[in-house]
Amino acid sequence: MAHLMTTQLLFLVWVAAWGAQTSTTRARTDLLSVCMDAKHHKVKPGPEDKLHEQCSPWKKNSCCYANTSEEAHKNISNLYRFNWNHCGEMEPTCKRHFIQDTCLYECSPNLGPWIQQVDQSWRKERILNVPLCKEDCQRWWEDCKTSLTCKSNWHKGWNWEKGYNECPTNAACHPFHFYFPTPADLCQEIWSHSYKVSNYSRGSGRCIQMWFDPAQGNPNEEVARFYAEAMSSAGVRRAGPLLLSLALMLLWLLK
């Protein structure tokens, strides 16, 4: 009987150790150079030589197709029928940030550590709390100060009767700073916490850059690798107590 229990415990220790190792490897593989399971994303990233204008930095390894990148630059595009000009014409300096935000969301293969499963009709995965470099958020907020909006959360609550978003009844148009008093309010609230403003700066290797020069490489690759490794290490640490308990039981049986 003791021999049988010892054999079973040895098997459990092996399974736990193997599970911890493979889950770490699998996590790192799944978190690096991946695309979301969403409405317009490719299954796997790859080269796209004809990405349009602001989406072009991702052409060497992209989760978006060329036509998606073109639509990302249009108002009321075929992507989501979203109307940037819901409170009058949005300032071009402001709109370029929303175009860049769309390019990052649709094209980046470096958001794996922050991909979460969701139960939504139009996508199965989303990003949550991506650490956006503080300068990118600050500049976005400053460039949109003079533009108008009527809501702080742009993911929900719109009037879609005309096939594109309009302000809901009794939602007044105000300058952005009315709904977003601080840069963090804008970057974190507007897309239901898709982003989280980082304390780190551009070039630190610890925050995602919305803007970068592709001639210098994609800095977000290093950022994704850092957070993927941190998450994998955390997974191993969580498996540690189980392995220790099983090992102690095995030693007790072998006395």
* Confidence band of 10 (pLDDT split at 50, 70, 90): very low
Tens digit of each residue's pLDDT (9 = 90 or more) over 181-221: 999 999 999 999 999 999 999 999 999 999 999 999 999 99
Measured distance CA(183)–CA(46) in Å, rounded: 33
Tens digit of each residue's pLDDT (9 = 90 or more) over 140-181: 999 999 999 999 999 999 999 999 999 999 999 999 999 999
Widest Cα–Cα separation across the chain: 79
Name residue, tokens 């592709």: 214
Name which of 62, 40, 185 is nearest 125 in CA terms: 40
Element (H, E) at 36: none
From the number of C-beta atoms within 10 Å of its C-beta (0-12, 13-18, 19+), residue 227 rates as buried
